[in-house]
Amino acid sequence: MFQGVLRKLDGLGRYFAFLGELLKSLPRRPFRFPRYILEMEHLGVNSVLIILLSGGAIGMIFALQMVVLLQPFQAEIGTGAAVAVALSREMAPVITTLMLIAKNGSAMAAELGTMKVTEQIDALESMSINVVQYLVLPKVAASILVFPVLTLLANVIGAFGSYFISVYLYAIDSASYLDYMFNFLSPRDVFAGLIKAAVMGFLTTTICCFHGLNTDQGAKGVGNSATNAVVSASVSILIADYILATMLLRIIYA
């Protein structure tokens, strides 16, 4: 047990050393802007469909539960406000990040892990190419930009899903529903969710890339790296969500 704790602490230390190397590579040339555009396309554009499906489903499911909960109190008009605030503050950034971890995080770890075991990483280093700057930095920068945009998209489609369930299935008055929702939802709620999404994007990408670059030899090592990356990133963003929620409640909502 003691050795297991030491291994975890060693891995945590190596992760922070990896973050330090990543930060050192920020001002270095060449910047390779085409790689940033390609990563934004891969992480963002190619993930729109899954975010639309998951965001719409979450909005519809949450609205269904809220209508049933509020009907005995004759307060079902507040369904839209409850769904919009919950999506903006918590559900949209968390669900979006979990979906992107499943889709892109595992792929990052597997890609870098395969490059490691096939000695492509060694080949890049032999050509004096900074591997972190060349392979990791574009993914991190693209994630910080793309995760908030996809979170905003999840907010919008989730609100539409909630509107459909409330207005067309439970015959809640449309004008009153929208008026109550927009009066209750504030820009601070949306802004808090976008901050969370950016931080979660950074954590997701750095954790997954770290596991990929530290892959053991063999095909089994690639599979283990992808699995460990998904698990570590998922747990980390949930912990980060609690910490960020506590901080933002004291800063933004003070």
pLDDT on residue 146 = 94
Question: Does any domain span residue 17?
Answer: no
Question: Does any domain span residue 27?
Answer: no
Q: Tell me the pLDDT tens digit for each residue of 168-199.
A: 888 888 888 888 888 888 888 899 999 999 99
| CA pair distance 13, 119, nearest whole angstrom | 24
Mean pLDDT (whole number) for 214-222: 80
How would you label 198-218 residue by residue, b for 16+ Cβ within 10 Å and e otherwise? bbbbbbbbbbbbbbbbbbeee
Q: Tell me the pLDDT tens digit for each residue of 116-159.
A: 888 888 888 888 888 888 888 999 999 999 999 999 999 999 99
Average confidence score pLDDT of the chain: 87
Do the Cβ atoms of 203 and 233 come closer than 8 Å?
Answer: yes
Q: Identity (one letter) of the amino acid at 121?
A: I
Q: Identity (one letter) of the amino acid at 105?
A: G
Question: Does any domain span residue 11?
Answer: no
Q: For a pLDDT cut of 70, what percent of the chain falls above it? A: 98
Question: Does any domain span residue 8?
Answer: no
Question: Does any domain span residue 2?
Answer: no
Where in the sequence is the domain holding 64, given as residue range(s)? 32-251
Question: Does any domain span residue 81?
Answer: yes
| CA pair distance 9, 16, nearest whole angstrom | 11
How many separate domains does the chain show?
1
pLDDT on residue 253 = 66
First to last CA, the chain: 43
| CA pair distance 207, 146, nearest whole angstrom | 17
Question: Does any domain span residue 69?
Answer: yes
